[in-house]
Amino acid sequence: MNPPTPAQTGTLTATWVSDAQRIHFWPKYFGQVPKWALIEPQVFRWLDRLCEDYHGDFWDFYTLPNGGAFMVPGTEQGYVLFNALNGNGVTVSREAAGITACLMAYSHCARSTESETMTEHVYWLLEYALHHPESRAIFALID
């Protein structure tokens, strides 16, 4: 299988995590966060909450040169997302859907754990999202 094309926004390029390195992804990037093993299912739940048509998927993992890391659903399609908490809805790519779900989960985790490391992950991913081609949609959803 060929790796997905890395995305680039501004000066940050996302790097796909190979299948061989997936096992190390969560402990390496989030191991200092209390209850880090709960972050991945929270991301899944956020996409399930935001996307009526989402029913599970295999996700790709990406890292950022600023220290950030995120995950993206594997199915290439438009994702119709609606945030009932703010009334905003848009159709986005799989990458923007993953970024949005990660930002929602990361932000919740940062608040609930008061973890400085988790807060840094929020800011690292926000930096990437800020320059993303779908930044307006991402920020409308997470607002």
Q: Is residue 131 part of a domain?
A: yes
How many residues are present in the chain? 143
3-state SS, residue 142: helix
1 pLDDT tier (thresholds 50, 70, 90): very low
**Domain containing 62 — which CATH number?**
3.30.70.3580
Q: Is residue 49 part of a domain?
A: yes
65: containing domain: 15-142
Q: Is residue 101 part of a domain?
A: yes
| Confidence check: pLDDT of 11 > 90 | no
Amino acid making up residue 129: A
Q: How many CB atoms lie within 10 A of CB 93?
A: 19
Average pLDDT over residues 12-17: 95
Report the Cα 82 to chain-centroid distance in Å. 16
Q: Is residue 10 part of a domain?
A: no
d(CA 80, CA 97) in angstroms, rounded, equals 9
Work out how many domains the chain is built from and give that number.
1
Give me the half-sphere count of Cα atoms (radius 13 Å) on the Cβ side of residue 20: 1
Tokens coding 66: 């600023």
Report pLDDT digits (tens) over 30-58: 999 999 999 999 999 999 999 999 999 99
Report pLDDT digits (tens) over 56-111: 999 999 999 999 999 999 999 999 999 999 999 999 999 999 999 999 999 999 99
- pLDDT, residue 60, reads 97
